[in-house]
């Protein structure tokens, strides 16, 4: 039996339209993410994420670097949104996440965003649509999904997020998102402030993860093609000098369920810090201005068994170069 995304039923009942309208209304005094900036984005007022009424799409393409049970043979149809609600000093996508003035020229209408989804499904034959860094563009994303349903969209939707998400918004995504793919970054609030510029990352990411778990549970639903169609996959990027607080993160996730699926990543490379001449002057930056060491990575992998995790994937240690994008090539940022 072919997978039937629940968002198609929401579309047929009119519920998807109602949620799209509710989310769009939240832009009038924006509280789409935990920053709660309160600006009127419907009038193109901008605040922390430097984003107004229209979505910004920096690139869209078939991407083969996701987890094996997502990428398959035809890849995930990733849509990379520009700008971000975080300020990660090591961001590997800094070319599109932190060059706000340049990215505003890549604004697209909801209709065009829907067309991109259909192109990825029909022309590229992608197995799913992956929205990358979608938090600040959830209203536009949901509206585009509604439009795309009328154009024949019928593959899973992946929400690939930094996990600094609003629980209120996530509740409105219940039944719209097929696969949650959060990256849990830190277990210490000071680290979240020092390296991503928000004072309450841990609090909000844990609340967001709890809501995703409430919606999906621990089990993944696989299709006949052996690819994941629905569920929760939790990413964790290992950082140098244990800045991520990996053991506390794994302990927290295990309290939800050790049956959850993890994706442990070794791909850290200080892309943005080495491009910031001021970064060299900061002691906190010096702690992460190198690749991780093999022993640092192995230590985290050893912890998986200690906390009962058996489901998921771990990147090869030598993966830092493979996963580094070049967004100067917008059509194929992962070509190398």
**Residue, of 281 and 208, whose pLDDT is higher:** 208
Render pLDDT for 83-121 as a digit per residue (tens, 0 to 9): 999 999 888 888 888 888 888 899 999 999 999 999 999
Beta bridge partners of 234: 262
Predicted pLDDT at 137: 98
pLDDT(74) > 90:
yes
Alpha-carbon distance 283 to 296, whole Å?
20
Beta bridge partners of 158: 130, 179
Given a contact cutoff of 8 angstroms between Cβ atoms, the answer to whether 135 and 82 are in contact is no
Render pLDDT for 279-330 as a digit per residue (tens, 0 to 9): 444 567 788 888 999 999 999 999 999 999 999 999 999 776 666 666 667 6
- What is the sign of the dihedral through the CA atoms of 57, 58, 62 and 66? negative
Alpha-carbon distance 2 to 231, whole Å?
16
Predicted pLDDT at 281: 42
Domains and CATH numbers, the chain: 6-319 (3.20.20.70)
- The distance of Cα 47 from the centroid of its chain, to the nearest Å, equals 20
Render pLDDT for 138-147 as a digit per residue (tens, 0 to 9): 999 999 999 9
Given a contact cutoff of 8 angstroms between Cβ atoms, the answer to whether 215 and 262 are in contact is no
Q: In whole angstroms, how large is the CA radius of gyration of the chain?
A: 19
pLDDT(334) > 70:
no
- What's the farthest any 2 CA atoms get from each other in the chain? 58
Q: pTM for the full model?
A: 0.94
Of the given ranges (163-167, 249-253, 290-294), which has the lowest mean pLDDT? 290-294
Structure token digits, residue 129: 């649509």
């Amino acid at each position: 039996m072919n997978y039937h995304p629940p968002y198609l039923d929401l579309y047929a009942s009119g519920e998807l339209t109602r949620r799209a309208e509710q989310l769009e209304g939240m832009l009038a005094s924006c509280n789409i993410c935990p920053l709660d900036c309160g600006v009127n984005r419907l009038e193109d007022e901008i605040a922390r994420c430097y984003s107004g009424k229209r979505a910004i799409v920096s690139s869209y393409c078939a991407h083969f670097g996701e987890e094996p049970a997502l990428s398959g043979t035809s890849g995930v149809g990733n849509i990379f949104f520009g700008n971000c609600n975080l300020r990660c000093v090591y961001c590997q996508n800094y070319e599109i996440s932190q060059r706000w003035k340049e990215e505003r020229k890549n604004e697209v209408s909801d209709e065009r965003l829907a067309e991109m989804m259909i192109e990825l499904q029909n022309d590229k034959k992608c197995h799913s649509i992956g929205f990358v860094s979608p938090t600040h563009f959830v209203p536009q994303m949901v509206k585009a999904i509604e439009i795309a349903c009328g154009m024949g969209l019928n593959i899973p939707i992946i929400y690939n997020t930094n996990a600094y998400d609003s629980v209120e918004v996530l509740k409105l995504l219940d039944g719209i998102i097929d696969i949650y793919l959060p990256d849990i970054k830190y277990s210490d609030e000071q680290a979240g402030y020092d390296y991503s510029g928000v004072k309450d990352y841990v609090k909000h990411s844990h609340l967001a993860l709890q809501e995703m778990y409430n919606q999906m549970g621990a089990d993944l639903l696989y299709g006949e093609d052996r690819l994941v169609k629905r569920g929760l996959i939790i990413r964790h990027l290992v950082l140098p000098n244990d800045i991520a607080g990996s053991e506390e993160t794994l302990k927290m996730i295990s309290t939800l369920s050790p049956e959850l699926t993890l994706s442990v990543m070794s791909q850290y490379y200080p892309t943005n810090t080495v491009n910031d001449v001021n970064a060299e002057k900061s002691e906190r930056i010096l702690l992460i201005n190198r690749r991780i060491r093999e022993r640092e990575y192995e230590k985290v992998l050893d912890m998986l068994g200690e906390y009962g995790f058996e489901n998921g994937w771990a990147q090869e240690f030598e993966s830092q170069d493979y996963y580094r994008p070049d967004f100067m090539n917008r059509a194929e940022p992962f070509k190398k």
